A and B are shown apart, each in its own frame.
Chain A
């Protein structure tokens, strides 16, 4: 099983012996993985393999699930995210998340982007304006919406709304951005734009992306991890995983024999 381990120098997130329980059933079995800084890592695997559960452990979104329990350690820049030194609010500010279904708030574009700053109590108008512009540019949305920043965010296309959610995530300047199948509800054209965006974002952020789409994983990621039934089966450079998978199950999944 330990063929999955991969030595990463100076990892930003380091997961050790992670077990995750929904009530009595164990959904993740002893996962060990380290994520490299300013790289895109894709998590692939068939439905129900625990990719999303794993992703949600990284910003403790699973805390919201009744009866869930985490064993093992997850370190963000060396600090255990479950330790008292790390507040969950602080963690979520440092580890942003983009969801499968775009979920803008029923507010203006402007208010959506600065939501994270507002709840953190930032009031400096000039700084907020600057952040909105920077984030929307970062999410390649600025040119499309700069004239209607104060319009409701709900009147946009799916792709635009998803990019707005990305802008919202990067506005608080997180260290890591988690993406949970960000393109699964988008048409091919919007998907291409988001993928392009991910390529841009990796210059500044560490990105961990869950995807069902093998081609997408191959296109956007530097590293790929394959999970199957709660186990990390194989983890390595994307090129290697897709060209020469060491594990039979990985190969079967990638070549489409199951999943």
Chain B
């Protein structure tokens, strides 16, 4: 009996099953934690108002509860917001200290540009055009917010004009420096003319700036007077309010709409509050563009290198050594690639490019500093071994008969390669590319020294000539996670965003891989050799 037990490998079967289960459990736990924490962030949480035993009152969202450390009973963590009043967003309160707890329907949450959420009640609104309005403060607030939003849009328009003017002035300045750099005398007519143009632009700029400042000052006159739980009054300019809502009075449909509006902001908006609030659009854009640029480099480079190695290089000592080297490249820590990228691409090539093409801008570096081009090249270097190995294996797996069949019909080696072998190897090559993309999407360390930043002023692709700015620094979801989770001054408030960002990064990697997998399966169907 027991001999049969061992002979049939029963323990091993159980062992393999257990190994798989453990792996799946770990992966599932990770995914579930991210999903549960990430998906719920934008759902409007109810606001609780607690009266403490001492008579003071606290208002805020109850974030979580846990047993009192070293004591009896439970304690609740309130997100009390109002950072400008209290200094801290969160507060632990022992359940035993709470005399009564309710959810007042008029509890107001103001999402603000600065200082986090405000929890309290609305007392009054005022503004230059508020006099003729009637109705309760809530409806007046809504009306006035529409007005201020429209004005804000006008101010933003002026802002766009200003940045456009600024770009033109900078362009003129650069041109002037270029001329001076090339030996023109300071009183040359061309320079005089440039200076004249710049002065004219600067006059318009000053005028617009003054206009914008006046508009902004007018906007500040629209205010809301609110009171916190303990009755402290506070006047908040409407321009500083992003959202105003009463979660306890919201219907289910309103909550869904609120969720969608937050989601829209996340995907399309700019970050606020040192990245812990607002949108992630620049980071999403940076991540996708980085991987896209990386793919543009790593794909042709890897495939061509593998083709040479497999099809043209004569098998021997050298090829074997190269192959071993390529395989081992994949095992080098990514930070080493980052340092290499910094030394070779940025200080080497980038600095040389600056010397030759952008010498008039020196000592301000253009390409001689971190940027999306160098970061994507570094990632390409990091992932190219994956593509090489996959391509080599795919080419090697093609039956010898196909190669011979093509050659026997009078095809050259090159024709055989391009017409038959590469299409047949394409599913395998795609697999390599998927792995490379997944690896690249997860890398943060090499990016940190080759051009990723916490907050990028402009996207690497925009409407300003020459549209594609490969020298620009960029934002990245992976770095974003690191930054807000570990570098944020207010880690507790940043927590939800960490999960949201993680979820988003996972979804983006999944999305890109899915596209590649669909492509691969289509190719597989077309090119896989049927057996008979």
Contacts and interface: CB of A to CB of B under 8 A. Distances in A.
Interface of A: 59, 61, 64, 66, 89-90, 92-93, 96-97, 99, 101-106, 115-116, 118-120, 152, 154-155, 157-158, 161, 165, 168-169, 172
B409 A161 contact: no
B405 interface: yes
Nearest to A168: B409
Given A99-B408, A119-B411, 17 more contacts: A59-B408, A61-B407, A66-B314, A97-B408, A101-B401, A102-B532, A103-B399, A105-B405, A105-B406, A106-B420, A106-B527, A115-B409, A116-B410, A116-B411, A120-B410, A157-B532, A161-B532
B419 interface: yes
B231 interface: no
A126 to B, nearest CB: 21
A155 B532 CA distance: 9
Contacts of B529: 106, 154
Interface string B411-431: 110010001100110000000
Contacts of A119: 409-412, 415, 419
A106 B526 contact: yes
B402 interface: yes
Contacts of B401: 99, 101-103
Q: Interface residues of B: mostly helix, strand, loop or mixed? A: helix
A106 B404 contact: no
B463 interface: no
Contacts of A102: 401, 532
A96 B314 CA distance: 27
Given A66-B315, A106-B423, A92 B410 contact: yes
B197 interface: no
A179 B420 CA distance: 22
Interface in B369-413: 399, 401-402, 404-412
A101 B420 CA distance: 17
A112 to B, nearest CB: 9
B500 to A, nearest CB: 44
Contact of B409 (A64, A101, A172): A172
Nearest to A117: B409
A121 to B, nearest CB: 10
Interface string B116-137: 0000000000000000000000
Nearest to B523: A106
Nearest to A87: B410
A61 B408 contact: yes
B407 A93 contact: no
Interface residues of B, number: 25
A99 B407 CA distance: 12
B530 interface: yes
Interface string B141-171: 0000000000000000000000000000000
28 contacts: A59-B408, A61-B404, A64-B404, A89-B411, A89-B412, A96-B408, A97-B404, A99-B404, A99-B408, A101-B401, A102-B401, A103-B404, A104-B405, A105-B420, A106-B420, A115-B406, A115-B409, A115-B419, A119-B411, A119-B419, A120-B410, A152-B526, A154-B530, A158-B532, A161-B532, A165-B405, A169-B409, A172-B409
Contacts of A161: 532
A243 B329 CA distance: 66
Contacts of B415: 119
B399 A90 contact: no
Nearest to B411: A119
Which 5 pairs of residues, A with B, have the shortest CB-CB distance?
A103-B401, A93-B410, A97-B408, A154-B530, A103-B405
A155 B409 CA distance: 22
Interface string B482-511: 000000000000000000000000000000
B528 interface: yes
A106 to B, nearest CB: 4
B315 A92 contact: no
B410 to A, nearest CB: 4
A154 B399 CA distance: 14
Nearest to B314: A66
B527 A64 contact: no
Contacts of B404: 61, 64, 97, 99, 103
Contacts of A154: 528-530
A232 B55 CA distance: 114
A159 to B, nearest CB: 9
Contacts of A105: 402, 405-406, 419-420
A168 B409 CA distance: 8
Contacts of B410: 89-90, 92-93, 116, 119-120, 172
A67 to B, nearest CB: 10
Contacts of A158: 532
B298 to A, nearest CB: 26
Nearest to A160: B532
Interface hub of B315, B407, B526 (most chain A Cβ within 10 A):
B407
Nearest to A155: B530
